[in-house]
Amino acid sequence: MQVLIPSALRSYTQSSNAEASGATLNEVLLDLDRQYPGIRFRMIDEQHRVRRHIRIFVNGVSIETLSQKMQSADEVVIVQALSGG
């Protein structure tokens, strides 16, 4: 499936798009990490939860759980919140 990568994570992929596969969102992120080592840790914390500054959308719907079932035609968009003062 197609995964859109935010600019802050493109140092891993060298592209705004990546291909990944998996039956669940967790498997998709693990596949991304297999291809681009270290990228998953920037999105998922040590308790296996999506980090507070990351939002993941599947087909335009915000997803909070890594157990979300996925289909090969799904589009995943990863958004990283900006912060600062």
What pTM was computed for the model?
A: 0.91
CA–CA distance, 77 with 75 (Å, rounded to integer) = 7
Q: In this predicted structure, what is the pLDDT of residue 27?
A: 98
Give which of 45, 24, 46, 20 is closest to 33, Cα–Cα. 20
Beta strands 75-80 and 54-58 are antiparallel
Which domains occur in the chain, in start order? 2-80 (3.10.20.30)
Q: In this predicted structure, what is the pLDDT of residue 83?
A: 62
Report CA-CA distances (Å) from 45 to 36, 41, 52, 64, 72: 17, 6, 9, 13, 25
Q: Where are the alpha helices (DSSP H) in the chain?
A: 10-13, 25-35, 39-43
List the pLDDT tens digit at each of the 85 positions of the chain.
999 999 999 999 999 999 999 999 999 999 999 999 999 999 999 999 999 999 999 999 999 899 999 999 999 999 988 665 5
